[in-house]
Amino acid sequence: MLPTPKKYFVTAAAAEGLTKLNAFDNALLAARIGNVNIIRVSSILPPGTEYDPDLVFPPGSLVPTAYGYITSDVPGELIAAAVGVGISRESFGVIMEFSGWCTREEAQAKVEQMIREAFARRGMVVVETKVAAVEHRVERTGCALAAVPLWY
């Protein structure tokens, strides 16, 4: 059994690159998680995890991360990504991610709707929500990314 994460933050960033992978890497760097090895996880924030917007990871660390992203190489296209964390009274939280061809506001609204649905389905009450969202107008090859990195 893994230890419970001690800290997390929400982040969103967009970037350009020569290729889709470079754009993704540059968005990770802009989101402050580019020098770690992110491990994609699903959408539950473990009990007792504290929000720390200034969290810094040692380079090369393995960092469990819930994230959504979109890349595009169509100049002029608008892309967006959002992530949200809903915190419950019951102890744990729910993380939702979204990315698509839309505005930042539309991506954020979608994530907030997804959090409400997830909590309703579980019969839980949301007491706090943290959301990060970004949009990007593609110049050549771009990426919009939103993430919740967890630190154990």
pLDDT tens figures, 49-71: 999 999 999 999 999 999 999 99
Percent of the chain's residues with pLDDT above 90: 93
Among 26, 97, 99, 135, the active-site one is: 97
Total-model pTM = 0.94
pLDDT digit string (tens) for 80-129? Answer: 999 999 999 877 999 999 999 999 999 999 999 999 999 999 999 999 99
CATH architecture for residues 7-151: 3-Layer(bba) Sandwich (3.50)
What is the sign, positive or negative, of the torsion defined by CA atoms of 68, 80, 130, 6? Answer: positive
Closest CA to 147 of 29, 18, 58: 29
Is 97 catalytic? The answer is yes
Is 106 catalytic? The answer is no
How far apart CA 15 and CA 136 sit, in angstroms, is 8
Backbone angles phi, psi at 90, to 5 degrees: -70, -20
Is 43 catalytic? The answer is yes
List the chain domain ranges.
7-151
Count the neighbouring beta carbons within 10 Å of the beta carbon of residue 108: 24
Among 16, 26, 35, 42, the active-site one is: 42
Is 135 catalytic? The answer is no
Percent of the chain's residues with pLDDT above 70: 97
E strand map for 53-151: 62-72, 78-88, 93-100, 126-137, 142-151
How far apart CA 126 and CA 19 sit, in angstroms, is 39
